């Protein structure tokens, strides 16, 4: 294989040129249909049109121009912050030029666009990603270096855009990267929260939340479009009015409160292409209309104060992951974002002067979970109440436009709005929901006469007291496709949560798109050394846009110098993480130890409690050893690293964090233990920390109760970076196993198909108190005898398992977990060469988990769109 001869990274070919070149568009000019500039003036526009930088010197000129003119500073007072801002602005300028051309091309091509509606976009940092995707990292590094700065220091200054909770928001971020990279016309629509996910501090072992005011130093990566102001109404009443044109009577909504949605655009660069899509985020502003009533009553202060309340709508992200809380402000946020986004899309469509029936040929909208589901109702309202279409014509357009991604089967995560709350805020939308429901139930009744049980199950309205609107039911009824996020999860949707809808609509409506991750951020950016090693073997970085090329790595599993380098890189990444851990916690960890990592939101279903109980068990066994000799003989030195945020109101999750920290405090300073076991809680887990952490695992834990995890994506990040998994047969672990082979993954625990029976058993056995295996009882005894501080703090955690039914089946899986951990220890310690072979073969078979593949599947099977050719 001549193309597989090793090459040094410097001699690598530059990235393969994609359909569109990096320096711009190959066509000489993109024709714009309407321009207000008279043709005789256009030559001047072209003559003075902005040029993007392409050399170190041009970058430096742009940098200095931004220091001096944008920031009003000079070489005498340019600190790292200013340098970061200037460098970002220079790069942003380049992106904007690509962005403009991309939008002109898409408009000129008049193609169908995809709109990804997500309440969360967990973007992380933008600068490093832009440098990599534009292939200007070396240039920029040299440019800032000669001007007296270190690029790595500048990159560290950027705060994360933490506009999401966890996996769902990060998925949206990976998807917009893949949409751009593959030359799709695909926009994200989201909310510009002023406060993203809170920053987590650990004080005396407890989680303390502090606000994340990420816009503190302004944000060079966003473009305020202050002229795009879309009015959004709330409350008020509905009335039947006579249509002046048709003479027919129709319903109309008169809102009583109005705010403005202002657009902020975040350019989303693709890798190895000039295609730059847009992530449009809405920010709430008071209307400029003034409450003259109040003013005339001499109440100037109050009339201004009332207006200020508008801004609170987009002030803060709700910090719950996989948990629904029916707060009015959240529904206000949802309608605000959805109404503004739809208005924007409709305005764009109307400019094309097409017939409404062609709307679904121009627009595909993906609902990321049920958060944007009110969009279904809003589009129906606009089409019927405002545009005057008849109900059925409008409804067909709606269904063809929308599709819905479900992320969870857990009841506590399903959105159900109390009917009164909903109807008060959005009275006309409630009426429309009633009409949608009535027509739908009539169809069901026709197909299944007399099946009242079926009717009540598929109804949008839950006839509980108080009554609720089931948003998942509305999303299914208003979409043409519904997908789960991994095969097991999609199968559970078809056979449990949505089985009644399968009966009504047929099984074809319910499909699967297994989640993925972008290899640009999660390999190239997170693991520079490994990505370069791979490039040196595969003949360049083409694999980053065609991840199944990794398969060729299989031919190197017997190449000892390759394996040696592979192992070195892992140690380097572990050293990098050790440094981060030292800085954050003061704890010293040894990079030669086995690094066992579990980072993700803290949740009982993800079972960090199982992990820490396992750690305690190991500690107790170590303590039983006669002396150090025996300990060293029996146990592999190991560092247990756990990180993640708990929702501020989730008491049990916070208890688990406290237990992890207390256990760490005891173990880390026990002189008997030394390097044999260390326990680290990494505070404030976020995307930029994940980029350091995911490349540094030997093994990572994905140990949710079978059937509870939708997909998981950190499992993919860890394996792509050469770590093995200890996991349950859940979510995408199933497909990871299929792709990499079951000899390369440590699976344990009960299967999803047995969970119901096991839970049932607990309900009826738990009082007899014979369900806790002795191994786990030993752990409980240690906790209860105050080994890790005041045991009363952990009473509710232990009770939830011992006497409240052990819903997450910790007792059922504990021994299986311990046994499998033993296997991990043994493999890592005694079969290191096989271990490395496992890692390499795993990476070689991870191609399937690129988010590029996800986007292709959505494009073909759900959106009916193709990449835009020039
Ligand atoms: C990938 C990622 C997640 C998702 O992790 P799971 O283990 O799949 O739940 C959550 N948070 C951050 C910051 C991530 O990068």
Upper half-sphere CA count for residue 168 (Cβ side, 13 Å): 27
pLDDT in tens, 60-100: 999 999 999 999 999 999 999 999 999 999 999 999 999 99
Return the beta strands (E) in 570-658 as ranges. 594-599, 638-643
Span 4-26, average pLDDT: 47
- CA triplet 291, 292, 293: central angle to 5 degrees? 90
Q: Which H helix or E strand runs over 216?
A: none
pLDDT in tens, 614-657: 999 999 999 999 999 999 999 999 999 999 999 999 999 999 99
Average pLDDT over residues 390-396: 98
Q: Which residue's CA lies nearest to atom 1 of ligand 1?
A: 714
Distance CA 137, CA 133 (A): 9
Is the beta carbon of 166 within 6 A of some atom in ligand 1? yes
pLDDT at position 30 over 70: no
For residue 320, give the H/E element and its range.
Answer: none
Say whether pLDDT at 274 is over 80. yes
pLDDT at 31 > cutoff 70:
no
Tell which atom from ligand 1 comes closest to the C-alpha of 167: 4
pTM over 0.75: yes
Confidence of residue 416 (pLDDT cuts 50, 70, 90): very high
Question: Using 50, 70 and 90 to split pLDDT, how confident is the model at 12?
Answer: very low
Which pLDDT belongs to residue 33? Answer: 54
For 496, other C-beta atoms within 10 Å of its C-beta total 12
Query: Sorting pLDDT into bands at 50, 70 and 90, what band is 298?
Result: confident
Give pLDDT tens digits for 203-259. Answer: 999 999 999 999 999 999 999 999 999 999 999 999 999 988 788 899 999 999 999
**Which amino acid residue places its CA nearest to atom 11 of ligand 1?**
166
Q: How confident is the model at residue 771 (pLDDT cuts 50, 70, 90)?
A: confident
- One DSSP character per residue, 232-296 reads EEES-EEEEEE-TTT--EEEEEE-SEEEEEEEEEEEEEPTTSS-EEEEEEEEEEE-S---HHHHH
Kindly state the average pLDDT of the residues 306-323: 92
Cis peptide before 317, with omega less than 30 degrees from 0? no
Q: Relative to the CA of 717, which ligand 1 atom is closest?
A: 1
Q: Which residues pair with 260 in a beta bridge?
A: 231, 285
Mean pLDDT computed over 665-671: 98
- Enclosing H/E stretch for 620: helix 608-624
- Spacing, Cα 716 to ligand 1 middle (Å): 10
pLDDT at 307: 74
The rounded radius of gyration (Å) of the Cα atoms in the chain is 28
Ligand 1 centre from 324 Cα, in Å?
A: 19
Residue 689, CB-side half-sphere exposure with 13 Å CA sphere: 24
What pLDDT band is residue 601 in, cutting at 50, 70 and 90?
very high
Percent of the chain with pLDDT over 70: 95
Instruction: Among 125, 160, 167, 686, say which to mutate for ligand 1: greatest number of ligand atoms within 8 Å of CB.
Output: 167
Decide if pLDDT at 1 tops 60.
no
Mean pLDDT of 761-775: 79
**Which of 714, 731, 732 has the most ligand 1 atoms within 8 A of CB, as the residue to mutate?**
714
457-492 tens-digit pLDDT: 999 999 999 999 999 999 999 999 999 999 999 999
812 has pLDDT over 80: yes
Q: Is 119 helix (H, G, I), strand (E, B) or coil?
A: coil
CA 682–ligand 1 middle distance (angstroms): 14
Q: Are 10 and 536 within 8 A, CB to CB?
A: no
Per DSSP, what are the bridge partners of residue 145?
A: none
Q: What would the two tokens of residue 866 be? A: 């193709």
What was the pLDDT predicted at 292?
Answer: 63
Distance CA 592, CA 700 (A): 16
Say yes or no: CB of residue 515 within 6 Å of ligand 1: no
User: Nearest residue CA, atom 4 of ligand 1?
Assistant: 167
170 lines ligand 1 (CB under 6 A): yes
Average pLDDT, stretch 416-422?
98
**Residue 517's Cα: distance from chain center in Å?**
10
Q: Is the CB of 713 under 6 A from ligand 1?
A: yes
Identify the pLDDT of residue 18: 42
Ligand 1 centroid to residue 400 C-alpha, Å: 32
**pLDDT at position 572 over 50:** yes
pLDDT at 302: 76
Residue 14: predicted pLDDT: 37
What pLDDT does 21 receive?
Answer: 67
Quick one: which of 624, 780, 598, 784 has its CA closest to 698?
598
pLDDT, averaged across the chain: 94
Q: Which of 11-25, 325-339, 378-392 has the lowest mean pLDDT?
A: 11-25
Q: Which of 122, 123, 611 to mutate to test the pocket of ligand 1 (most atoms within 8 A of CB)?
A: 122
Region 427-453: mean pLDDT is 98
Q: Is 687 in the pocket of ligand 1 (CB under 6 A)?
A: yes
Tell me whether the omega of the peptide bond preceding residue 466 falls within 30 degrees of 0, making it cis.
yes
pLDDT of 849 higher than 90: yes
Whole-number Å distance, alpha carbon 302 to ligand 1 midpoint, is 44
Query: Across-strand partners of 511?
Result: 483
- Which superfamily does CATH assign the domain made up of 519-849 to? Glycogen Phosphorylase B; (3.40.50.2000)
Question: Is it the case that residue 149 has pLDDT exceeding 50?
Answer: yes
For ligand 1, the distance from its centroid to the CA atom of residue 538, given in whole angstroms, is: 29
| Residues 6+ away with beta carbon under 8 Å from 38 | none
With cut-offs at 50, 70 and 90, classify the pLDDT of residue 4: very low
In the numeric block, the tokens 């209307």 are attached to: 287
Quick check: 799 pLDDT over 80?
yes
Would you state the pLDDT for residue 17? 36
**Residues catalogued as catalytic:** 407, 600-601, 606, 713, 717
Task: Enumerate the domain spans of the chain.
Answer: 1-109+134-148, 519-849
For the CA of 711, the nearest atom of ligand 1? 8
Q: How confident is the model at residue 291 (pLDDT cuts 50, 70, 90)?
A: low
163 lines ligand 1 (CB under 6 A): no
């Amino acid at each position: 294989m001549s193309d597989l001869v090793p090459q040094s990274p410097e001699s690598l070919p530059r990235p393969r040129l994609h359909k569109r070149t990096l320096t711009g568009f190959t066509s000489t000019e993109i024709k714009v249909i309407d321009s207000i500039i008279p043709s005789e003036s256009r030559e001047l526009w072209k003559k003075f049109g902005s040029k993007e930088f392409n050399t170190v010197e041009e970058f430096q000129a742009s940098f200095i121009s931004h220091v001096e003119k944008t920031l009003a500073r000079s070489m005498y007072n340019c600190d790292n912050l200013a340098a970061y801002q200037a460098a970002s602005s220079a790069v942003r300028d380049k992106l904007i030029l690509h962005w403009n051309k991309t939008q002109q091309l898409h408009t000129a091509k008049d193609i169908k666009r995809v709109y990804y509606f997500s309440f969360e976009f967990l973007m992380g940092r933008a600068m490093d990603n832009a440098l990599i995707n534009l292939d200007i990292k070396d240039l920029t590094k040299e440019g800032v270096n000669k001007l007296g700065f270190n690029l790595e220091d500048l990159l560290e200054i950027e705060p994360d855009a933490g506009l999401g909770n966890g996996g769902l928001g990060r998925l949206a971020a990976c998807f917009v990267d893949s949409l751009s990279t593959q030359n799709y016309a695909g926009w994200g629509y989201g909310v510009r929260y002023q406060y993203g996910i809170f920053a987590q501090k650990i004080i005396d072992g407890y989680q303390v939340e502090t606000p994340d005011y990420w816009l503190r130093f302004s944000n060079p990566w966003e473009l305020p479009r202050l002229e795009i102001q879309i009015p959004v109404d709330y409350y008020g009443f509905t009335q039947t009015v006579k249509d002046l044109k048709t003479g027919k009577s129709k319903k109309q909504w008169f809102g009583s409160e109005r705010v403005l949605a202002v657009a902020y655009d975040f350019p989303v660069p693709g890798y190895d292409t000039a295609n730059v899509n847009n992530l449009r985020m809405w920010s709430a502003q008071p209307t400029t209309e003034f409450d003259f009533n109040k003013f005339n009553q001499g109440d100037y202060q109050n009339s201004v104060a009332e207006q200020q309340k508008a801004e609170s709508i987009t002030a803060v992200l709700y910090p719950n992951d996989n948990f629904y809380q029916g707060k009015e402000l959240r529904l206000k946020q949802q309608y605000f974002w959805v109404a503004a986004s739809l208005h924007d899309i409709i305005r764009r469509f109307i400019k094309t002067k097409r017939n409404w029936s062609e709307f679904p040929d121009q627009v595909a909208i993906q609902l990321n979970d049920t958060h944007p589901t009110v969009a279904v109702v809003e589009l129906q309202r606009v089409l019927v109440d405002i545009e005057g279409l008849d109900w059925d014509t409008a409804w067909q357009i709606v269904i063809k436009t929308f599709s819905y991604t479900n992320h969870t089967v857990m009841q506590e995560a399903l959105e159900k709005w109390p009917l009164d709350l909903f109807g008060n805020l959005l009275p006309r939308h409630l009426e429309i929901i009633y009409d949608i429901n009535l027509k739908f139930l009539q169809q069901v009744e026709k197909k299944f006469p007399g099946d009242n049980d079926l009717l009540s199950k598929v109804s949008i309205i839950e006839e509980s007291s108080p009554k609720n609107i089931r948003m998942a039911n509305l999303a299914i009824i208003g979409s043409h496709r519904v997908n789960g996020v991994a095969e097991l999860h999609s199968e559970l949707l078809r056979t449990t949560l949505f089985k009644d809808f399968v009966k009504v609509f047929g099984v074809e409506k319910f499909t699967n798109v297994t989640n993925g991750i972008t290899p640009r951020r999660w390999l190239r950016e997170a693991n520079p050394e490994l990505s370069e090693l791979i490039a040196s073997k595969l003949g360049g970085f083409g694999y980053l846009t065609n991840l199944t090329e990794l398969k060729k790595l299989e031919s190197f599993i017997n190449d000892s110098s390759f394996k040696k380098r592979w192992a070195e890189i892992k140690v380097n990444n572990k050293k990098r993480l050790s440094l981060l851990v030292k800085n954050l916690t003061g704890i010293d960890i040894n990079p030669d130890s086995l690094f066992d990592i579990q980072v993700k939101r803290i949740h009982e279903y993800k079972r960090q409690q199982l992990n820490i109980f396992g750690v305690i068990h190991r500690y107790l066994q170590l303590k039983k050893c006669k002396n150090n000799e025996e300990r060293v003989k029996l146990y592999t030195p190991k560092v247990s690293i756990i990180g993640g945020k708990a929702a501020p109101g989730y008491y049990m999750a916070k208890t688990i964090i406290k237990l992890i920290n207390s256990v760490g405090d005891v173990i880390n300073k026990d002189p008997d233990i030394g390097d044999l076991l260390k326990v680290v809680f990494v505070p404030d887990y976020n995307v930029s920390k994940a980029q350091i952490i995911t490349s540094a695992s030997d093994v990572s834990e994905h140990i949710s109760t079978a059937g509870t995890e939708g997909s998981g994506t950190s499992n993919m990040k860890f394996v792509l970076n050469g770590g093995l998994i200890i996991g349950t047969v859940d979510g995408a672990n199933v497909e990871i196993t299929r792709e990499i082979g079951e000899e390369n993954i440590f699976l344990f625990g009960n299967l999803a198909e047995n969970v119901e029976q096991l839970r049932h058993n607990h309900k009826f056995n738990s009082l007899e108190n014979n369900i806790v295996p002795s191994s786990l009882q030993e752990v409980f005894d240690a906790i209860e005898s105050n080994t890790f501080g005041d045991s009363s703090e952990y009473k509710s955690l232990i009770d939830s398992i011992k006497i409240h039914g052990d819903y997450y089946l910790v007792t059922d899986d504990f021994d299986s977990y311990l046994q499998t951990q033993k296997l991990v220890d043994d493999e890592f310690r005694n079969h290191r060469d096989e271990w490395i072979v496992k890692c390499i073969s795993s990476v070689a078979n991870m191609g399937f988990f690129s988010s590029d593949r996800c986007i292709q599947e959505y494009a073909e099977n759900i959106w009916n769109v193709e990449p835009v050719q020039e």
